[in-house]
Chains A and B, each alone.
Chain A
Amino acid sequence: MFGSERSLSYRLKRDIIQNRELYILALPILLFYILFHYKPMYGAIIAFKNFSPAKGIMNSPWAGLRHFKDFFSSVYFGRVLKNTLIISITQLIFGFPAPIILALLINELRNRAFSRTVQTIGYMPHFISLVVLCGMIKQFTSDSGFITLLLSHVGLKKQTMLNQSGLFVPIYVISGIWQNMGWGSIIYLAALTGIDPELYDAAKIDGAGRWKQTLYVTIPCLLPTIIILLILRTGNILSVGSEKIILLYNPAIYKTSDVISSYVYRQGLLNSDWSYSTAVGLFNSVVNFALVVTVNKISRKTSEISLW
């Protein structure tokens, strides 16, 4: 009672004295977050300046919204935004259902040993590093690669596939499914084992066959997991990572493969256009944040499922 009437600073002082050790232990954690998360957030103000490393963040002259205007009026704005969206949405349409279907099929297996084998092999590609995966893609889809050769039977040109702008998105998405479908199914398999067997018994008594059981028991039980992951994916629709793009693309196909993050990397780190690239990155961060918050709000209203 007395405590709540006293001022915040007084209570804080008392708390620090009382829990001195916790505050001391928190210092390294705080230091980490300040140095590597909050300091870069502060550093993002160079998006509104003409930053030069010699002058530093404080002393570089202000530029207002110039860099943002430059970006929005350049041809790159439409191009990288479009590519980011196309890659994200294609990934969502094909990559998102793949692990769900795989998990449902594995769940229908009656032979435990076979089911385990499918899982063990299915998770494997997840552990292949991105550099190695992209190296494999480059080899297999080169003009003499076996995938190029196989596809030449169905009318594809016998040329390096990664030099053909129309093939970048399919290569990116399909290799992603190959690498992550099995791993992605784990979470659904976990949710499937959590389903109460009595629900199936009840459905059987009502005369439901396996198909109907899947439709009316399994899928509704998976729905919360699916929705949560869908929220996450939709919130991240404008954040296609730069790593795999940078490993796979080349100037000949920038038109279809350059995304926001790879553009930021090139302009910033390769061309040292610090302020401009920071502005592009900040635009991306702000839009991503707004998307996550919005999608989460909508989901909380409609389905009472939310991230926080």
Chain B
Amino acid sequence: MNNKIRTGIGERVFNVVNILFLIGIMGITLYPMLYVVFASFSTPGRFMMHYGPLWHPLGFDLASYQAVFKNPNIWNGYRNTIFIVVVGVAVNMSLTLLGGYLLSRRNWMFQRVMVLSVIFTMYFSGGLIPFYLTVRDLRLDKTLWSLILPTAISTYNMIIMRTAFAVIPESLEESAKLDGASHFVILTKVMIPLVGPTIAVLVLYYGVGHWNSWFNAMIFLSGVRSKYPLQLILREILIQNSLNDMTMGTGMEDREMIAETIKYAVIVVSTVPILCLYPFLQKYFVKGVMIGALKG
């Protein structure tokens, strides 16, 4: 009896501590993002003079956003990124669906060789430099295709796709075969409608991957500024500190002041689309992690 009461109190204390701890974790997670938003709306001059944490925007000024939206590089970067995401995901999905289907067919001799040689690439690669030289030899560098074709299939995603196809009962395929359907028709008319949720997950994974990627663009598009995706423009502004064309037209002093708040406005402008979409898509992403886990 005595024992029971004691655990009761212990549990209640634990519950309270646990909730407080997780609220703390949420605070630490959210605060940097809030800081960015607050800073982006602040009056450049006041933000410049401010040190330490921010709990609200200092004043209210849209000058940084105006500077960002007036900047042709940002728009151009956005356009390139949208092209890469749309075309890239279309290519990704066509090949991933096709590859997943082929890997899930058991009654042809090449299947086993294919599975092994595909999985091998997950654990061994020639390295960055041969990869770069290969893409350059194919004359894909300095074009947006260098960001689409060399990453057309993620082996991991293709295996997730294969798993989804493999659990579809064979009887469905058999009856289509009896009707004389080809593999291509079975894939597009019978199989694809049955794996909708997996497709949604992979579209999201590939899409976010393209949206956020910058490294391949940096190595393959160097010197071709008109083709830079958004993330490379962001890198110039945030990492390399080159804001020259954005602060043009303002006086020297103003320029330095607004440079800081512009950085935050740029972060907001580039990240908000994904973070706004995310709560609606959360369940698909979460599902994706679990599908991946099942495979493992």
Contact = CB atoms under 8 A, between A and B. Distances in A.
Interface of A: 11-12, 15, 18-19, 21-23, 25-26, 28-30, 32-33, 35-44, 46, 53, 102, 105-106, 108-110, 114, 117-118, 120-125, 127-132, 134-136, 138-140, 144, 146, 149-150, 178, 182-183, 186-187, 190-191, 209-210, 225, 228, 242-243, 246-247, 261, 264-265, 268-269, 274, 277-278, 281-282, 284-285, 288-289, 292-293, 307-308
B45 interface: no
Interface in B98-141: 98-99, 101-102, 105, 107-110, 114, 117-119, 121, 123-135, 138
Interface residues of B, number: 88
Contact of A28 (B29, B53, B98, B183): B98
B270 A132 contact: yes
A264 B127 contact: yes
B51 A144 contact: yes
Contacts of A21: 182-184
Interface stretch (B63-71, B195-203, B212-220): B212-220
Given A150-B53, A210-B7, 7 more contacts: A15-B109, A25-B184, A36-B151, A46-B129, A118-B26, A129-B271, A308-B119
Contacts of B176: none
Nearest to B267: A132
Interface string B1-29: 00000010011001100110110011011
B167 interface: no
Contacts of B99: 29
Contacts of B10: 209
Q: Is the interface of A mostly helix, strand, loop or mixed?
A: helix
A146 B53 contact: yes
A285 B130 CA distance: 12
B22 A118 contact: yes
A227 to B, nearest CB: 11
Contacts of B212: 129-131
B262 to A, nearest CB: 12
A36 to B, nearest CB: 5
A11 B22 contact: no
B126 A40 contact: yes
A12, A18, A40, A117: most-surrounded residue (chain B CB, <10 A): A40
B201 to A, nearest CB: 13
A281 B127 contact: yes
Contacts of B157: none
B11 A209 contact: yes
Contact of A285 (B26, B127, B264): B127
Nearest to A282: B127
Nearest to B22: A118
Contacts of B98: 25, 28-29
B252 interface: no
A118 B29 CA distance: 10
